Amino acid sequence: MTRKIKILLLALLMGFLPKLKADEGMWLPFLIDHLLHEKMQEMGLKLTPEQIFSINESSLKDAIVIFGGGCTGEIISDQGLLLTNHHCGYGRIQAHSSPENDILTDGFWAMTREEELPNPGLSVSFLVNVADVTEEVLAELNDDMNRQQRDAAIRRVSNRLVSEATEGTHLNANVRTMYAGNEFYLFVYERFNDVRMVGVPPSSIGKFGGDTDNWMWPRHTGDFALFRVYTAPDGTPADFSPENIPLQPRHHLPVSIRGVQEGDFAMVLGFPGSTDRYLTSMGINFKLENEFPIRIEIRRKKLDIIEGAMAQSDEIRIKYASKQSGISNYWKNFIGMSNALERLNVAETKKELEEEFTAWVEADAASLEEYGKVMSMFANAYEGYRGFHSHNFIFFEAILTGPDVIRTALGYRTLERLMREKAGQDEIQNEIDRLQASVERLYRNYDAGVDQKLWAAMMEIYSREVPSHLKPGIFNEVEKRFSGDFNRFASEVYSKSIFSNAANLEGFLAKPSLRKLQNDWVFRMAGAMFENHTGIQEQMAQYDEMVATANRFFIRGLREMDPERLFYPDANSTMRFTYGSVGGYHPADAVYYDFVTTTHGVIEKKDPDHHEFVVPEKLVQLIRDRDFGEYGNEETMIVNFIANNDITGGNSGSPVLDGEGNLIGLAFDGNWEAMSGDILFEQETQRCINVDARYILFIIDKFAGAHHLIEEITIVR
């Protein structure tokens, strides 16, 4: 590597502790201050900072991966066995399922390496190196730049730094901003593309409780899945090949079956996606009034259509399982966020900080010069956003992630341009070949009847909710021709469009016609709405710039105002650790939730007439026979437990570790009472919900009979 990577083990962030309570914060593991380390030791940590994160020696970070596009996983054997959540692998489980081989329902366990299932397109990434590049980036920036100039300069220097860090290697890298653009770090990764499915429990275990229990405690869910990472024979990353061998990791996590007790130290290490802990009261009110209600409404409508169809057909159930899960997850999240933000009066808490900030700014001439406009910039930006009547949220939910044919048609804009401009035949044919190769994938999980209903419903919502001056002109044509009857509109679209099914599209690609493409309703609507949305985004750009600038100065000012406070940057899919302790909580007056759930609760919730609470008969028998092996006691076995770790989306699949770095659980959810946690950590009620490691091993061993997997795991007894 041509660039020397410097790892900072002394804190830029870490000054004097507290003002922040111990278990709040998603901390950068390469910046562990001695005072922070001492606090963790007091709570039960027995590892050194270097044992958590080191470049030159094996450390915990070498067992942790980015799994796919938005989850965490961890290596739990010296043969590349990987543990993550069932819901993180859900799309892959669905892809391997069919009505004839329904592993969504039945589960899957590879009893030999040859039976492990390849997953084209799935990759995992290990963090290799980190460097603080703040000085290099800031040297190219100044506060007089507008957002476009600033972003261009950041891209320019970031591209250079990435090139220097990866030149002559198979590694990849990116530069990520921290504190809204006040600091920058270079992250270097090694990505492996041969990841095979090893074992997944049936959904009646992996998704037990379904949407009803999602984001709730108590839980009784075995939300885990096993994969294996493979490499070329020389240990380097490689695409799938029968010649590949299991990864030999720098570190793998031992799995403890000693059990958890209330007050035990717990640390989570993973890749949390995003938080907004510095969001202002104005931003919170905007979400409550202009974002959450419309997104909840649109997602509920999509779910009604999709779930109704899934209930009628096993084929549709399997095709739409992953889509339904993704839509439902954040439909309920938005509801919970709204309720928590209002119930806990989070906007008022934020307003108190803003008033403190304003008083500090106004007390000093230099601060007033630098930060005096910050709050007015926020106010002007959110007032500007309101003039667009939630268009961006409606467009995203109803159109861009609504009927599948819209996204498919948008992929044909290049072909239309090449044909319109009379490009060379070879260039046109290359584009046709590229599109042809994607047809099967695009229609694999598609049903024309479901999509037609989505089209009618989503177009009706868009037409109703978006003011006339913000809608594309094509809606006037729709209104005139179909008299506002969107079901009739959808019927004509899906009876004639080349995008309504794979056969139509393949027929078009075999004999492409510019006129046919340009006159196609789906292509016309997709193009008109996308261009209209792009124009609206351009109008909103001034407000985006105001918010970005105000955020940067606000966070910079907060750190100057309170230099003894320990600040942490918002999550941004970079590696973080969070620490806390196992324990229950009081969700409401006179109510207490214990810190564990057991197999007694699985039987109590069992309901053969409710698809979310079906329990496999073999699991019922094991529980009734108290056949828990070494994973339970004479009466029962722990299924899930909670700890007060600070997590968010992206932490799904993260290991929960004891003070010695052994895996004691697998993080998979947060709790309903603290759904505002992405914006404000709720000290008393925020909990991380985890599958107990013993329940995972029990399902692998006693339920699945996959004892060969148990034998390759390092178990701490």
Strands 591-593 and 585-588: antiparallel
Q: Which amino acid is at 397?
A: E
Q: Please work out, in degrees rounded to the nearest 5, the angle formed at the alpha carbon of residue 348 by the alpha carbons of 344 and 352.
A: 130
Given 281, 652, 654, 676, which residue is catalytic?
Answer: 652
Is the separation of the CB atoms in 654 and 667 below 8 Å? yes
| Identified catalytic residue from 23, 33, 223, 570 | 223
Number of Cβ within 10 Å of residue 115's Cβ equals 12
**Structure tokens, 80:** 């590349």
d(CA 700, CA 107) in angstroms, rounded, equals: 11
Extended beta strands in 117-249, E state: 124-132, 172-178, 183-192, 194-200, 225-231, 245-246
Structure tokens at 374: 């910050």
From the centroid of its chain, how far is CA 101? Answer: 28
Work out the number of other CB atoms within 10 angstroms of the CB of residue 194: 25
Assess whether 223 carries a catalytic annotation: yes
Q: The tokens of 578 are what?
A: 């969070």
**For residue 650, how far is the Cα from the chain centroid?**
4
What does the alpha-carbon distance between residue 49 and residue 38 come to, in Å, rounded to a whole number? 10
Phi, psi (deg, nearest 5) at residue 245: -125, 160
Which residues lie closer than 8 Å to 304 by C-beta, 6 or more apart? none
Alpha helices in 374-520 (DSSP H): 374-386, 391-394, 404-410, 413-420, 425-443, 448-465, 474-482, 486-496, 502-510, 514-519
Task: Using alpha carbons, select from 498, 495, 393, 345 the residue that is nearest to residue 435.
Answer: 498
**Active-site residue, 652 included:** yes
Please name every residue paired with 231 in a beta bridge, in sequence order, or none if there are none: 245
Alpha-helical (H) ranges within 44-174 are 49-52, 90-95, 103-106, 134-138, 147-166
The DSSP secondary-structure symbol of 288 reads I
Active site residue 87: yes
Residues annotated as part of the active site: 87, 223, 652
